Amino acid sequence: MTAATSYRSTVQAEARDGFGRLLLAEWTKFRTVPRWVLAVGASVALTVLVALLTAAGSASSGTGEGTADPARSGIFDMGHFTYQPLEGDGTVTARVTAQEGGARAKAGLMIRGSAERGTPYAALAVTPGDGVRLQTGYRDGGAGGGPGALPRWLRLTRSGTTVTGYESPDGRAWSRVGSVRLEGLPRSALAGMFVAAPDDVVVERRFGSESISGEPAAATAAFDRVSMVPARPGAAWQDRGTPGGPGGPAEPGAGGSTLSGGTFTLSGYGDIGPNAFADDLTKTILTGVLIGQTAIVAAAVLFVTSEYRRRTLRTTFAASPRRGRVLAAKALVAGLVSLAAGLAASCGAMLLARPMLRSNGVAPPPLWDAAVLRAVLGTAALLGVIAVFAVAVAVIVRRSAPAITIVLLLLLVPQIVATGLPLSAARWLERLTPAAGFAIQQTVARFDRAIGPWAGFGVLCAYTALALAAAAFLLRRRDA
Amino acid sequence: MDATIEVRGLRKRYGPTLAVDALSFTARPGQVTGFVGPNGAGKSTTLRMIMGLDRPDAGSALVGGRPYRSLRTPLCRLGAMLDASAVHPARRARDHLRWLAHAGGLPRRRVEEVIELTGLASAAGRRAGGFSLGMRQRLGIAAALLGDPPALMFDEPVNGLDPEGITWIRGLLRSLAAEGRAVLVSSHLMSELEGGADRLVVIGRGRLIADTSVADLLEAASGGRVELRTAERQEAMTVLARAGATVTAAGPGAVTVAGLPAERIIALLTGEGVAFSGVSEHRASLEEAYMELTRDAVEFRAVAGREAP
Amino acid sequence: MSALHAEWTKLRTLPSTWWLLAALAGITAAAGAAVTGAVDTSACPDPAACREDTAKLALSGVQIGQVAAVVLGVLAVGGEYATGTIAATLAAVPRRGAVLAAKAAVVAAAVAAAGSAGVLASLAAGRGILPGNGFTAANGHPPLSLLDGATARAAAGTVLYLVLVALLSLGAGTAVREPAAAITAVLALLWIVPVLTRLAGDPRWQERLERLAPMTAGLAVQATRDLDRLPIGPWAGMGVLAGYAAAALAAGWILLAARDA
């Protein structure tokens, strides 16, 4: 036996073992197959194209139907408000003694900037269904508080731009409900009592599909022991009805206030707060990702299954035997590439759709609005997570045809079967399938929303995490 | 002991079939070790288990004394070409080596070095889908050499190659071993290893049949047989059989004699007056030795089965 | 004739074929039953005014079940490219048009058989579920029956729809060769247009899209009442889908004939 001197690798000393190198390897793999890069580009192009088509379509719906109902564009600012001016800091107190108008009808106190539509406000209201709530803004916002049993004392205190709400069963023991900061609340504000009621949602099934409409609802409530601090003796109570809506000046008697023996009775129509029936223009423009994602899913699946089909997975594992890290690198590269593509697609869609919307007389969504920004960036993140999900499913299934079919089916199933389904069933599909992730595109809390933006995105992430865990387990266990 | 591949008591079962069973051998530095067996004998399974791709049911496979999956920079310990066609057809050859270098944590310059070493320079910019078998083989070898490893494994490296390619690979294997590397080459044809391997590991049906040097194997297979050329075949056979030899006719004017040394045969024939034109030691080819070996193994198993009912 | 026999043998001996055919029938029936079970008359102005198209409702599972037909159609040729057996196929039957025709025939026959099973199971499930959800004969929703002309047309049309979708996929798979790309493209074509339709604000555009899209046009054949409300007539819609399938097959045939295998 020759005691040959063992050969020593000349590059051993330079070799580095690290996750960064693995990422670089997977990135090299991805970018050197032209059709995958092409697919990612196609997904961006498709998403933007659909955005342009929908933006063009938004014009045709606008013409011929007259001016859009102002109450339908974004916010509700209706109901009835009986007020006095409030200079600087101060407090308004009242007792709600009776209330009509259903479980969600609101009766309480409000401090707001002016009688103009859409000015900042804080409202402390008692509702039969939800108890006492402090509410602000025209999207979401506010804080919950105690029970809503009548009679109930309410108190709203302004200090600077902070408005704090208190409630009490007897007018002696007060508990704090919460406080809100109203940016832009002028020094001379208005304070008083209000009633409001969210629209009744009416679902009707005919001809094999369901339609939904909102019917303005009426609310009436009685207040007594009304006091203002600082008191302005002799100041008259003024009324703000529902501008432009039912119960406005055009319909006398539909809303208003009466005062008899220290008891105010207010009645009004409609709600104040977010318009649950508003069109979600941002979501509509970004819906092109439903199409764009197909190319991303195909590329992400092939990124994995081609390694099985071409048997390069063995080479990959020969170079980096720790398989969990390989999966992590692969998922990360697919996710980041898709994230970048999603960012290009959603930004491109929003920016290119703007001039088209404007020329059609539609105001484009404000880009720096928090909800719009969440939708735009969320769409990018959505595509990233979808790519990771596709990678995980592809590792589990190992073949491209079933993997693509399964992923697309799961992501699109609520869209496909929703037309025939009752809305309640369709909503459950949108909550429970990975398609829930598309909720991140919402900018309006609509009446038909199945799940909140972050919760929906969380559902998709949970599915992805589960699939990744299963993929990692199988990858380690199975022979390559 | 960096440059060794060591297999100890390896076993792997796929469903009802036992692909590899109680297999032990070592590929040593400075040697080309041939790993031979018929198709389906378990060679590729063994190589995959050495690389940690398949999990053995029992036993262990060590590269430089450690399991492959525990190596931190494995491409610098063991280079392997399992399947030359395992390349994405849309990827350029250089890009294939590039991602592999990244994954193995190797410096970028190694890509150009192995391209040069394997003579791929003119083809490196082309997509691997258009490669001929020979070029894919070169690409696979380039990938194996990327980490400049002290141990190398090649699965059927000359399968389907033209004579020029076979010569090139043989020369390469020899020179790699001469540098002190352990080279393990599998093949289902012994003839492919003739003149190429120093040592042979022969397996059949997943079990070790022989682990021997080429010289020992040939000597054993030749078995001291002598070839005799004579025009008087019948007479010669009678004479030699009477002297206790086993004689078989090997052609119109030739007989093979076993059990008698050449000098004794010459003396006998000369004494009896049988004319002959030549006596030569029989030299078995590697292929013959291999056939002999596998046949013996089968017979041994049959006998063993009868003895233990 | 031998090409037909060869294609049938190829299709029959792949385990995936049987899985896909079982999935086609199973998913169609299961999804149809699930949708039917979820619908009742509670949201209708009154049960008689609901005007629910019960046959269409019961058969709605085909919208999901068709994935199996798509995969089967694409893999019939794309699978051969993926595994390289296409060379052997074309060596045995050099006339490429004959190969494609034979494949189309066996795929169509297999999908028609599995589709019929799925459709019959869907109708049977609907017949059992619907009365419990308030869709009774007294409310103007007689039990589903193939003896009813419109229901029989919806059922037969649904089977034909599945066959045409499979042929469309076969053509796409032949033209594109890469199964993954073909499946993605066909699924996108089928499923995305209904999504887009809901986005288009303009009803005229919605109708136009529904007339032109293979899935919405082809499934018009499932309607059994209020036909005047359809964007496209039942058989005209089937014609649109047949046009898509013919175009895909023609593209596949031209490319198969022109290309190196």
What is the set of domains in chain A, with CATH numbers? 16-67+280-477 (no CATH), 75-274 (2.60.120)
The 10s digit of each residue's pLDDT in A410-419 is 998 887 777 6
* Buried/exposed code over A364-382 (b: 16+ C-beta within 10 A; e: otherwise): bbeeeeebbebbbbbbbbb
Chains linked to B by 3 or more Cβ pairs within 8 Å? A
Angle, vertex CA C81, rays to CA C78 and CA C82, nearest 5: 85
The 10s digit of each residue's pLDDT in A322-356 is 999 999 999 999 999 999 999 999 999 999 999 98
Q: Which residues between 41 and 70 in chain B have a beta carbon less than 8 angstroms from any beta carbon of chain A?
A: 48, 51-55, 68-70
Residues of chain A neighbouring B149 (CB-CB closer than 8 A): 9
The 10s digit of each residue's pLDDT in B28-49 is 999 999 998 888 889 999 999 9
Helix (H) or strand (E) holding B50: helix B43-50
Helix residue ranges, H only, A253-369: 281-286, 289-309, 312-319, 323-359
Mean pLDDT computed over C124-130: 91
Mean pLDDT computed over B245-274: 83
What global pTM score does this model have? 0.83
Distance from CA of C6 to the nearest CA of A (A): 24
Residue B29 in contact with partner chain A when CB distance is under 8 A: yes
Distance from CA of B290 to the nearest CA of A (A): 23
Q: Name residue A131's beta-bridge partners.
A: A127
Q: Could you give the CA distance from residue A88 to residue A186 in angstroms, rounded to a whole number?
A: 8
The 10s digit of each residue's pLDDT in A130-168 is 788 888 877 655 566 666 677 889 999 999 889 999 988
Q: Tell me the pLDDT of chain A averaged across its residues.
A: 84
Residues of chain B with CATH 3.40.50.300: 5-213
Return phi, psi of residue A124, to 5°: -110, 115
Nearest to A416 among C38, C41, C64 (CB): C64
Strands B199-204 and B32-36: parallel
Residue A24 in contact with partner chain B when CB distance is under 8 A: yes
Q: Given this model, what pLDDT does residue A228 score?
A: 86
Instruction: Classify domain B224-283 at the CATH class level.
Output: alpha beta
Q: Given this model, what pLDDT does residue A201 score?
A: 76
Mean pLDDT computed over A384-401: 96
Helix (H) or strand (E) holding C35: helix C15-38
> Over pLDDT 70: what percentage of chain A?
89
| Tokens representing residue C65 in the block | 């079940």
Q: Given this model, what pLDDT does residue A142 score?
A: 59
Nearest to B143 among A6, A17, A315 (CB): A315
pLDDT band at B78 (very low <50, low <70, confident <90, very high): very high
Q: Do B102 and A24 touch (CB under 8 A)?
A: yes
Whole-complex ipTM:
0.89
Q: Given this model, what pLDDT does residue A302 score?
A: 95
How do the domains of chain C map onto residue ranges?
Answer: 2-258
**Packed helices A370-397 and A400-417: angle between N→C axes, nearest 10 degrees:** 140
User: Is-contact B78 B181, C-beta < 8 A?
Assistant: no
Q: Is the pLDDT of residue A15 over 70?
A: yes
Residues of chain B with CATH 3.30.70: 224-283
Nearest to C38 among A302, A309, A422 (CB): A422
Which residue does chain B place closest to A36, by CA atoms? B90
Instruction: Look at B165 and A445; give whichever has higher pLDDT.
Output: B165
Q: Is the pLDDT of residue A61 over 60?
A: no
The 10s digit of each residue's pLDDT in A83-102 is 888 888 999 999 999 888 87
Q: Is the pLDDT of residue B278 over 70?
A: yes
Mean pLDDT computed over C238-253: 95
Distance from CA of A345 to the nearest CA of C (A): 17
Q: Could you give the CA distance from residue A78 to residue A317 in angstroms, rounded to a whole number?
A: 65
Instruction: Look at B83 and B250; give whichever has higher pLDDT.
Output: B83
* A and C in touch (3+ CB pairs within 8 angstroms): yes
Q: Tell me the pLDDT of chain B averaged across its residues.
A: 86
Nearest to C67 among A290, A295, A405 (CB): A405
Nearest to A15 among B30, B105, B150 (CB): B105
Distances (CA, A) of B26 to A9, B8, B23, B61, B200: 20, 9, 10, 10, 10
Mean pLDDT computed over B287-304: 60
| Tokens representing residue C113 in the block | 């058989």
CA C6 centroid distance within chain: 25
Domain B5-213: assigned CATH number? 3.40.50.300
C69, amino acid identity = A
Which residue does chain C place closest to A53, by CA atoms? C200
Q: Given this model, what pLDDT does residue C200 score?
A: 64
Q: Could you give the CA distance from residue B274 to residue B268 in angstroms, rounded to a whole number?
A: 9
